[in-house]
Chains A and B, each alone.
Chain A
Amino acid sequence: MIRLLLILLVAGLPLRAEEIVADLSQDRISISTNFDGSEILVFGAIKRNAPQPVGTDMAVIITVTGPREDITVRRKARRFGIWVNTDSREVNGAPSFYSVSSSIPLSRALTPAEDDRWRITTASALTAPDMTTMTDNDPEFLEALIRVNTAAGTYGTAEESVQVRDSTLFSADIALPADLTEGNYNTRIFLTRNGEVVDSYATSIYVQKVGLERWIYALANDEPILYGLLSLFIAIVAGWGASAVFRLFKN
C-alpha cells in the first residue's frame, strides 16, 4: 500500500499538470494482395494530477508522418501549342504521407508560434529545417506539392475529427490510403491549451509488404534479371493455358 502510494507520488511529480497516455489499434500494417488502405484507431486519455484548468480551450492534435522520399515537383507551361513540363524543383526528404487531425479547428487549437516550434500543420511540417530541402526554395512549388498530394489523398488535414469525451478520453480514426510506402509512420499526439502545447506523445506504425507482395517486390529489385524471366514465363504460361482451357470448353 505504501509502495503504491509512493509510485503514485513519483508519477505525480513531473511538473506537467496534464499528460497524454495513448495507444494505437495496431502498430504494424501489412500490405497484402487484397490491401485497400487501412484505418488506424488512435486512442488515449489525458492524465491529470490536478483539476483541469477552467476557461481554457483544450485540443488534441494528431499527426502521422510517412517515410521520407526524394521527389520532383514539375510545372507545365505551354510550348509550341502543347502543355509540357518545363520548370521543376527537387524536393529531398518530403514525407510520402502526412495527416493532421484535431479536435477543434486548428486556428483555435494552435498558435502560429507553437506551430512554428512543433511543426504541426502540413506547410509548417514540410518547411521544418530537418525535413525537406528544395532546390531554389520556391513557395509556389511547395504549395503545389501540398495541393497535389492533398488531392491524391496522401496529405490531409481533418479538423474536428478527434473525438474528446469528458475532456479526458480521446480517439481518432486515421485513414491510410492504399498506395502506402513501406516504412515507419511516426505518430505524434499533442495536447494544447489555448493554443499552447502542454504535452506531446510520440509512437510509430510500421508498414510493410507481406507475403506474395513482399516476395515480388523484393525479387523485382534484388534480382531484376530473374524477375524479368519469371514475368515472361508466367505470362506465356498464363496466356497459353487460358487459350487452351478456352479451346477445351469449345470442343
Chain B
Amino acid sequence: MRCPLQIYLPIAEVSVNAFLLLGLGGLVGILSGMFGVGGGFLMTPLLFMIGIPPAVAVATEANQIVASSFSGVLAHFKRKTVDFRMGLVLLVGGLIGAAVGVQVFAILRELGQVDLLVKLSYVLFLGVIGGLMFLESLNSIRRARSAGPAPRTVRRQRSWIHALPFKMKFRTSGLYISVIPPVIVGLLVGVLAAIMGVGGGFIMVPAMIYLLGMPTKVVVGTSLFQIIFVTAFATMLHATTNYTVDMVLAVLLLLGGVVGAQIGTRIGVKMKAEQLRILLAILVLVVSGKLALDLLIEPAELYSVGFGGQE
C-alpha cells in the first residue's frame, strides 16, 4: 500500500512518510513535555528503527535539539533562572567534548563500528540512569505510602570538590567552587551529544544537583543554555566532517515535536511527580533493553553493506 505523503529526504537518501515523521516528533514531544526531558535519547533509536542511517539520525537529532532547547531557554531567560557563568564554564568543556566526539564518530564510521558505539553508549547510559531512577522513585512511592514526611535529602558537602584549585564565584548559583568539575561534566556531555545525538540533560541535570550542588531552580535553564551551544557546535561539526545533517528531516521532527511538547506539558501537570518519574524510568529501561537485545541476540543476517572505501 502506498502512503499518501511520502517525502524524499535529500541527505538520508530514503523516502519516508511525512506523517510518520510528524507523528514520531509528536510522540517524543509529548513524552518530553510530560517528563521535562529533551527526548533525544528516544528519538535517535526510533529513527534507527524506521531506517534512517545512524550517522544521519545522530547528526540531525543534534540539529533538532538546538531548536527545541531554544524555545525552552527563552522562558528561563525571562525568569532569570540561567547561571550564565556556570553555563559558560560547562560550555568550554562541552565544546571540547563535542569536537572529540565527532572525531571519534568519524573514525569509527570508517571502521564500521558506529552502530556498536552508539548502541553500547545507549545501553550503558540508559540502563544505569533508568535503573537508578526506577529504584529512587520506587523508594519515594513506598515512603509516601507509609505516610509521614519524606526525609529531606541532605546535600553533602563533598570535600574533594572544594579542595580543587581554580576556584570561581558563581553568583546566580551561590557557589564558590573549582572550575574543574563543571568543565569535566561539560566535556562528558559534549562527547555524548556528538556520539549519541542527545542533549545530555539526563546526565547533566543530576550531575549539577548532586555533584556541583547547584540550586534546583537554575539547573534546567543553565543546562538548556549549555545544550544549545554544544548541540549547535556538534551540528556544525557533523555538517562539515560527515555531511550527515538532513534539514528536511530535522524540520519535520521539530514541527511534530513542538506540538507534542505542548500536549505533554498539559498531561504532565495532571500527574504526580513520582508516577511520572517511575514511568520515565520504565521507558528508559525499555529502550535500553531493546538495544541490549539487539546486541545480544544473534542477528538473522550477519552481513551488512555500508558505504566506505575512500570515504
Contacts and interface: CB of A to CB of B under 8 A. Distances in A.
Contact of A141 (B8, B66, B259, B303): B303
B134 to A, nearest CB: 23
A73 interface: yes
Contacts of B10: 209, 212-213, 216-217, 220
Contacts, number: 181
Contact of B245 (A91, A212, A220, A236): A220
Interface in B84-137: 112-113, 115-116, 120
B164 interface: no
Interface stretch (B67-75, B192-200, B268-276): B67-75
Interface string A15-52: 00000000000000001111111000000000000000
A38 B199 CA distance: 38
B interface, size bucket: 35 or more
Interface in B1-23: 2, 5-8, 10-11, 13-15
A238 interface: yes
Contacts of A70: 307-311
A32 B7 CA distance: 9
A246 B261 CA distance: 11
A177 to B, nearest CB: 8
A148 B251 contact: no
A85 interface: yes
B306 A71 contact: yes
Contact of B239 (A35, A73, A224): A224
Given A74-B112, A81-B296, A232-B63, A220 B243 contact: yes
A90 to B, nearest CB: 5
A239 B67 contact: yes
Given A216-B248, A220-B245, A76 B299 contact: yes
Nearest to B255: A242
Given A92-B309, A242-B255, A242-B259, A76 B304 contact: yes
B247 interface: yes
A70 to B, nearest CB: 3
B305 interface: yes
A9 interface: no
Interface string B214-256: 0000000000000000001001101110010101101100110
5 contacts: A85-B113, A152-B305, A231-B250, A234-B247, A238-B255
Interface of B: 2, 5-8, 10-11, 13-15, 63-64, 66-68, 70-71, 74, 112-113, 115-116, 120, 232, 235-236, 238-240, 243, 245, 247-248, 250-251, 254-255, 257-259, 261-262, 295-299, 301-311
Q: When A and B form their complex, which 3 residue pairs have the shortest distance between CB atoms, in order from nearest?
A: A70-B309, A228-B239, A178-B15
Interface of A: 31-37, 69-78, 81-85, 88, 90-92, 141, 144-145, 147-149, 151-152, 178-179, 181, 209, 212-213, 216-217, 220-221, 224-225, 227-232, 234-236, 238-240, 242-243, 246, 250
